[in-house]
Amino acid sequence: MKLRYKLWMAMTALILFMGGTFFAISHGYIGQLFRQYAKAAEAASAEQLARNIAAYYEQNGWYAVDQYIVYYLKENPEYTAGFNSLLLKDTQGHILVSVGKGGAAPRGQSDTSTVTIRVHGQEIGVLTVSNRILDGSPVEQNILSSMTAATVWGTILTSMVALLVGVWLMRLMTTPLQSLLVAMKRLQHGDLSVRVDVSSNDEFGEVAKTFNEMTDRLSRTEEARRHLVADVAHELRTPLTIMQGQLELIQQGVKPAEPATLLPIQDEVVRLARLVQDLHQLSLAEVGKLPLEKVSTDMVQLTQRVVANFEVEAEDRGIQLCYDAPAGPLIALVDPNRITQVLVNLVGNAVRYTPLGGTVMMTVERAAPGVKVTVSDTGPGIAEEHLPHIFDRFYRAESDRSRGSGGTGLGLAIAKEFVEAHGGRIEADSKLGEGTTFRVYLPGNSAAPSEKPPEGS
């Protein structure tokens, strides 16, 4: 059953229940109040009559008291309106007067008022009056029926208002739900561009906002997945084409199958193997499954080894390679192999992209509570529009330049994942034409430096 109908039914049941309860309670309560009031009025008039009888007795004794009472009742019609019967007895219990309207006994007969009549404190008789105003009298009927009408009309009116408010509330609740439902169905059928247009500041607005954020993220992930597949296919195509061409030449006997001919094929195989390994490590790091052998590592030693690796290449390219570190050890809790890989890529990029006569500088310093490694160069820099993307997979700021140098655009993506897997962070600053600076922050450790030398140093 639709939510709208459920709400309708619940609302109607609630209104009927509330109306019924209100009617029953108010009807019973006002009826009871009315009876209390009538009883008090009856008692008051019985006492008034008793005082008059006492005054009469003082002057005449019981002589012709019956005529006096009949006269009194006639003279006070408001008193006799609800009057039913009257009984006057003397102290011996003899009935002096007994007046009754006759007919069927009224329902309120049991509500009688008995008053002792006294003259100067001396008891002279007992007066018992029964008044039918207490129940079923026209006055009571009138009052109760007008009250019933008022209650019924009140209930109908308030129910109608409640229903109108209910309809408005239902619309308020079901309309955003319906647009959410439509959007969810479209999403279920693969439409990732779907967005919900609910701008209210309530829980529905929150749900819609969360839904929109979720679809945003889903479409970004989907786009990234498509790009990744396209990028991987693209990266694989070039080495495969080269290898295929070379092998065909050998097969056709155009080129001999000797080491010199096989060398470019081997280069491409190495390139492919590296690409596959990079992708594997990246995907492991992205899902948080990268195995890390963290040990307390002296970052001064580690960075010295990285710089030493590039000395020859820097010299060949006519680049000045500088290094600055404190005298003592700087301990970080890292996997030395992974961090070496990060720094090799940073220094490698700097050396590779900096032109002849440029400078590449690496510094290591304490940055409480860890260690900070900076790699800066005086190279071409990275344009502002490229800078936010350089840590993306396969991103090359200037594809020709990096492809020519053999880069796949995975180095910085791997560096970022590795550093973050250690609980550290990496950031880049660059100015076009002036140079680039990468800063790596690694978590520190107070333990002694590790004896384990980093791999590949």
| Distance of alpha carbon 211 from alpha carbon 204, whole angstroms | 10
- Choosing from 125, 239, 379, 444, the residue that interacts with ligand ATP (CB under 6 A) is 379
Q: Indicate whether 409 belongs to the interface with ligand ATP (CB under 6 A).
A: yes
- Choosing from 11, 373, 410, 419, the residue that interacts with ligand ATP (CB under 6 A) is 410
User: Angle, nearest 10°, between helix axes 299-316 and 336-353?
Assistant: 30
| Distance of alpha carbon 369 from alpha carbon 447, whole angstroms | 13
DSSP structural state of residue 355: P
Q: Which of residues 337-366 bind Mg ion (CB under 5 A)?
A: 345, 349
Polymer length of the chain: 457
> Is residue 196 within 8 Å of 212, Cβ to Cβ?
yes
| Distance of alpha carbon 413 from alpha carbon 406, whole angstroms | 16
Q: Indicate whether 281 belongs to the interface with Mg ion (CB under 5 A).
A: no
- Choosing from 82, 125, 407, 449, the residue that interacts with ligand ATP (CB under 6 A) is 407
Q: Indicate whether 395 belongs to the interface with ligand ATP (CB under 6 A).
A: yes
DSSP structural state of residue 252: T
Q: Which three-class secondary structure state does DSSP give residue 397?
A: coil
Residue 380 touches which of ligand ATP, Mg ion, none (CB < 5 to 8 A by kind)? Answer: ligand ATP
Closer CB to Mg ion, 303 or 349, in the complex: 349
Q: Indicate whether 130 belongs to the interface with ligand ATP (CB under 6 A).
A: no
Q: Indicate whether 417 belongs to the interface with ligand ATP (CB under 6 A).
A: no
User: Angle, nearest 10°, between helix axes 65-75 and 3-60?
Assistant: 140
H or E segment at 387? none
Exposed/middle/buried for 343, CB within 10 Å: 0-12, 13-18, 19+?
buried
Cα–chain center distance at 296: 42
Closer CB to Mg ion, 140 or 231, in the complex: 231
Q: Indicate whether 408 belongs to the interface with ligand ATP (CB under 6 A).
A: yes
- Choosing from 436, 440, 441, 454, the residue that interacts with ligand ATP (CB under 6 A) is 436
Cα–chain center distance at 286: 28
| Distance of alpha carbon 105 from alpha carbon 433, whole angstroms | 117
Q: Indicate whether 349 belongs to the interface with ligand ATP (CB under 6 A).
A: yes
> Is residue 403 within 8 Å of 393, Cβ to Cβ?
no
Closer CB to ligand ATP, 319 or 334, in the complex: 319
Write down the least CB distance from residue 296 to Mg ion, Å: 28
Q: Indicate whether 390 belongs to the interface with ligand ATP (CB under 6 A).
A: yes
Strand-pair partners of 365? 372
**Which residues neighbour 448 within 8 Å (Cβ) at sequence distance 6 or greater?**
296, 331
Residue 450 touches which of ligand ATP, Mg ion, none (CB < 5 to 8 A by kind)? Answer: none
Closer CB to Mg ion, 19 or 348, in the complex: 348
Closer CB to ligand ATP, 53 or 361, in the complex: 361
DSSP structural state of residue 94: -
Closer CB to ligand ATP, 123 or 398, in the complex: 398
- Choosing from 248, 398, 434, 455, the residue that interacts with ligand ATP (CB under 6 A) is 398
Which of 373, 396, 259 minimizes the C-alpha distance to 325?
373
Q: Indicate whether 166 belongs to the interface with ligand ATP (CB under 6 A).
A: no
User: Number of residues in contact with ligand ATP, rule: CB under 6 A?
Assistant: 22
Q: Which of residues 375-414 bind Mg ion (CB under 5 A)?
A: 411
Residue 390 touches which of ligand ATP, Mg ion, none (CB < 5 to 8 A by kind)? Answer: ligand ATP
Q: Indicate whether 424 belongs to the interface with ligand ATP (CB under 6 A).
A: no
Binding residues vs Mg ion (CB under 5 A) = 345, 349, 411
Binding residues vs ligand ATP (CB under 6 A) = 345, 349-350, 353, 377, 379-380, 382, 390, 395-398, 402, 407-413, 436
